[in-house]
Chains A and B, each alone.
Chain A
Amino acid sequence: MSLTARAGAGARAGTGPEDRAAPASLAGPVTRVPGRLALPDESKALPLQPARLRARHVVPAVAFLLVAATASLVTGPAGLSPLGVVEEVASKLPLLHVHSPLGPTGSVVVWQLRMPEMVLGLLVGAVLAVSGASYQGVFLNPLADPYLLGVASGAGLGATLAIVSGAGTGSATSTVPPAAFAGAVVAVGATFALSRSRHGRSAASLLLAGIAVAAFFTAVQTFLMQEHSSIELQAIYTWLLGGLSTAGWSQVLLVLPYIAASSAVLLCARRLLDTMSVGDEEAMALGLSVRHARLVVIGAATLGTAAAVSVSGLIGFVGIIVPHAIRLLAGPSYRRLVPLSLLYGGGFLVLADVVARTALSPQEVPLGVVTAFLGAPFFLVVLRQSRKLT
C-alpha cells in the first residue's frame, strides 16, 4: 500500500493542498511545484478558497458535449443532409413548429440508429471517465483504470460464453450484454472476496486479487476461444475491441439505471476522494473511515463500468486519458474532476465514435482502436508532464 500511495501522491504533486488553495490555471500543477515544499507559506500567500466547480469549467465542457452530440447525429453514410437531421430533431421538440424534410427511413435512421448510439456513447464515455478518475483517487495511482479489478476479464468471459453458446441462432446480440454484466459482477465479487488477507483488506491486496482474478478469467476465456471456430472468434473479437453498435433504445435502457446510479454516487463522493488523496493515515486523521469510503466509491465505479462494458465491449484509455486531461486543464481536485469527467468523457467517446464510423467509411474502425490511437500519444504527453513535476 505505502508504495502505491507514495508513487501516486508524488505523480499528482500535492493534491491535498491543491483543493484548499486552488486558483486553477492551465499550467496549474507545474507552477505550484515549488510551493509544495513550502506549504504553510503558500496557504498564507493565497486566499483560502475551495476548488469549486465554476462556470469557466462547466461552459466549455457542456459546449464540447453539444458539439460532439451534434457531430454524431449529422454524420453517417445514409446520405441525410445535416440540416435535415437538425430539422428532424427540432420537429419532435415541443413548441417548435418545424417541418421535417426527412422521410420515414430518414426518421428511423435519426431516432432509432444515430440517436441511441450517441446517447449510449455519452453514457459509456461518461461512466468510464468518472470511474477511471475515482479509481485513480482511491488507489492513489495515476495509472489505475476502470478495468483494474477484473471487470474487463469477467465481462469478456461472460460475453464469450454468450457468443459460443448462442452461435448461429442470432440470439447473441440480446444475450451478450446481460452475460457480460453478470461476468463483470462475478469477477469483481471474486476480487473482493479474495482480497481479504489476515490484516484486512488494503488497496494493495485488492489490486493483487484483481490481477489474479483477471488472469484466471482471461485464461478460461482464451481456452473457450481456442475451442471454437473462426466465426465465433470474429464475434468475440468484435466485442472485445469495443463499439457502440446498437439498434433502437433497448441497450440504452438496459444500462441507464446502473450508469445513472453510479454517476450519482461518485458525484456525491467527490469530497471523499479529495480527502482520500492525501493518503490513508492522513485521511483517517481527518476523521474519514477510509475503508468504508473506498468500498462505496469502488462499488459504484465498478457497477457503472460493468454496465458500460456489457453494451460496448472493452473501450480502453477513456478512463485514463480523460481524467488526466482534465487534471491538466482544471487542476486535480475531485470536486471539479468528477463532474468534468462525466461531461468530457461522454463527449470524447461520442467524438471517437464519429471518427470510428467515418475515417475509413464504409469500413468501421473498432472504437477501442480509435480511443487508444488518440489516447496513447496523449498519454505520453501526460507522462512527460508528470516527469517534469517530480
Chain B
Amino acid sequence: MHRTKTVRAAVAAAAVAIAALAAGPLAGAGAATRAATPAQARPEAPSRSGRTDGFPVSLPSQGGTVVVPSRPDRILSLSPSATQMLYAIGAGKQVVGVDKYSTYPPDAPRTKFTGGETNAEGYLPLHPDLVLMAFPSGTVVKQLTLLHIPVLVLPPASGLAQADQQVHELGRATGHVAQAGQVVASFMADVHKEAASAGGAGRGKTYYIELSPDYYTATSRTFIGAELSLFGMKDIADPAGRGTGYPQISAEYVLHANPYYVFLADTVCCSATPASFGHRPGFSALSAVRDHRVVGVNDSVASQWGPHTVESFVGLIARLLRR
C-alpha cells in the first residue's frame, strides 16, 4: 500500500519540477542579460578624447563598454602584447604587474599569473585599477566588474590596423593619447621601411607558418599573416581558414601546397627544428626543405602582436629576403 503512496509523492514532486522548469530559464536569462552589460548600467560623462587626460574614458571591450574613471596608476597587464604597447607609449611607470609570458620589456614586474585564471580574487593583493587581458577565462571579467575594477579585453589582432587600434585605445585608457599616436606613426613607418627594403623579393612566394606540430597554422587574416603580406607573400592556409584565422591543416595539405618558405613558430613549445621538420615522412620532397628555406622562429611571433615582436619579426623576414 505504501508503495503506491510513494509513487504518488514522486509524481507530485515531478509536477513541481515541471513547474520550476517553466519558470527557470526566464528568470535565469534575465539575470544573465543584466549582468552582461554592467558598464552600461552606470551612466558616465562622455570622454573628451581631444585632451590627453580626458577621464573618465569609455572604451569598447567585448561588444560592451568599459569605463576607466580616472588615470590608472596600478595597471595589471595579463597580455604580453598589451605589456609591450604600454611600455612603448610611456605608460610603463603605471604598471604594477604583468603576466608570466610578458617577457618584453625584460624589467616589467612579472607575476605568476597566466592571464587564464578563472578567479579574479588572486589579482586583488596587487590592488589593480585597470586590468588588461587577451583571453579572459570563465567569469573573470564579470568578477572584476563586481569588484569595480575596469577590465579591458584586447583580443589577438586580425591585422596590423587592429594592433594599432589597440595602441590608440591603451593611449586613451592610460592618459597617453599623444604618445600612442607617435608610436603608431613611427611603428608603421619602420615596418613599411623594412618591408620595402626587401625590394619585392618576397612577392608571390608561398609560405606555411607552423604553430604546432599537429599542423595548426595561421592564415593571412591574422596579425602574423598580415606581417608576411607586407612582403607580398602568400599563405598556403588561406583556402583552409573557414571561420577561423587559425585552422588546422594536415601533412598532406603542406606536401600538396609545397610552400616556398616554412616558418616554424613551434620551436619553443614543441622543440621543432628545420632538421626535424625535414625528417617527417615525405617532407624531404618539399622545395623549402631541399633548398633550406625552413626557418625556426620564436613561438612568440605568432602569439604576440605588440610593437616589439612585430618589428623584430618583420626585420627578420626582411633580412631573410635580402640574402
Interface 1/0s, chain A 258-269, versus B by CB < 8 A? Answer: 101110110111
Interface 1/0s, chain B 53-88, versus A by CB < 8 A? Answer: 000000001111000000000000000000000000
- A178 close to B (CB within 8 Å): yes
Chain B residues within an 8 Å CB radius of A268: 6, 9-10, 12-13
Chain A residues within an 8 Å CB radius of B124: 77-79, 105, 109
- B192 close to A (CB within 8 Å): no
Which residue from chain A places its CB closest to the CB of B63 in the assembled complex?
A169
Q: Could you say which of A170, A245, A260 contacts B119, with CB atoms under 8 Å apart? A: A245
A173 and B25 contact, CB distance less than 8 A: no
Residues on A facing B (Cβ under 8 Å): 76-79, 105, 108-109, 112-114, 168-171, 173-175, 177-178, 181, 226-232, 234-235, 238, 243, 245-251, 253-255, 257-258, 260-262, 264-265, 267-269, 271-272, 275, 286-289, 292-293, 296-297, 299-300, 303, 357, 361-364
Which residue from chain A places its CB closest to the CB of B212 in the assembled complex?
A230
Q: How far is the CB of B151 from chain A (nearest CB, A)?
A: 10
For chain B, what secondary structure do more than half of its interface residues adopt (helix, strand, loop), or is it mixed? helix
Q: Could you say which of B10, B21, B121 contacts A265, with CB atoms under 8 Å apart? A: B10
- B159 close to A (CB within 8 Å): no
A-B contacts, 25 of them at CB < 8 A, read A78-B121, A78-B124, A113-B147, A114-B121, A170-B62, A171-B62, A173-B36, A173-B139, A181-B25, A231-B135, A231-B246, A234-B135, A234-B137, A245-B137, A246-B139, A253-B27, A258-B20, A258-B21, A261-B17, A272-B7, A296-B7, A299-B14, A300-B13, A300-B17, A363-B117
A286 and B3 contact, CB distance less than 8 A: yes
Q: Could you say which of B16, B32, B137 contacts A238, with CB atoms under 8 Å apart? A: B137
- B181 close to A (CB within 8 Å): no
Q: Could you say which of A170, A238, A289 contacts B141, with CB atoms under 8 Å apart? A: A170
Which residue from chain B places its CB closest to the CB of A175 in the assembled complex?
B32
A253 and B31 contact, CB distance less than 8 A: yes
A171 and B63 contact, CB distance less than 8 A: yes
Q: Could you say which of A245, A258, A272 contacts B140, with CB atoms under 8 Å apart? A: A245
Interface 1/0s, chain B 101-132, versus A by CB < 8 A? Answer: 00000000001111011111110110000000
CA distance A300 to B11 in the complex (A): 10
Which residue from chain B places its CB closest to the CB of A286 in the assembled complex?
B3
B244 and A228 contact, CB distance less than 8 A: yes
Q: How far is the CB of B19 from chain A (nearest CB, A)?
A: 8
Q: Could you say which of A226, A235, A254, A286 contacts B28, with CB atoms under 8 Å apart? A: A254
B13 and A265 contact, CB distance less than 8 A: yes
- A sample of 11 more A-B contacts (CB under 8 A), given A257-B27, A272-B6, is A78-B125, A109-B147, A113-B120, A168-B62, A170-B153, A173-B141, A245-B139, A253-B28, A260-B20, A363-B114, A364-B117
Which residues of B222-263 are within 8 A (CB) of A?
Answer: 242-248
Q: How large is the interface on B (under 10, 10 to 19, 20 to 34, 35 or more residues)?
A: 35 or more
Q: Could you say which of B32, B118, B136 contacts A250, with CB atoms under 8 Å apart? A: B32
Which residue from chain B places its CB closest to the CB of A275 in the assembled complex?
B3
A258 and B17 contact, CB distance less than 8 A: yes
Chain B residues within an 8 Å CB radius of A275: 3
Interface 1/0s, chain B 16-38, versus A by CB < 8 A? Answer: 11001101110111011111100
Q: A77-B124, A235-B137, A293-B10 are in contact. Are A364 and B243 (CB under 8 A)?
A: no
CA distance A8 to B183 in the complex (A): 71
Q: How far is the CB of B28 from chain A (nearest CB, A)?
A: 3
CA distance A89 to B238 in the complex (A): 57
CA distance A169 to B62 in the complex (A): 5
Chain B residues within an 8 Å CB radius of A260: 20
Chain A residues within an 8 Å CB radius of B284: none
B246 and A271 contact, CB distance less than 8 A: no
- B270 close to A (CB within 8 Å): no
A174 and B33 contact, CB distance less than 8 A: yes
Which residue from chain B places its CB closest to the CB of A263 in the assembled complex?
B13
CA distance A231 to B157 in the complex (A): 13
- B2 close to A (CB within 8 Å): yes
Q: A247-B146, A268-B10, A271-B2 are in contact. Are A229 and B28 (CB under 8 A)?
A: no
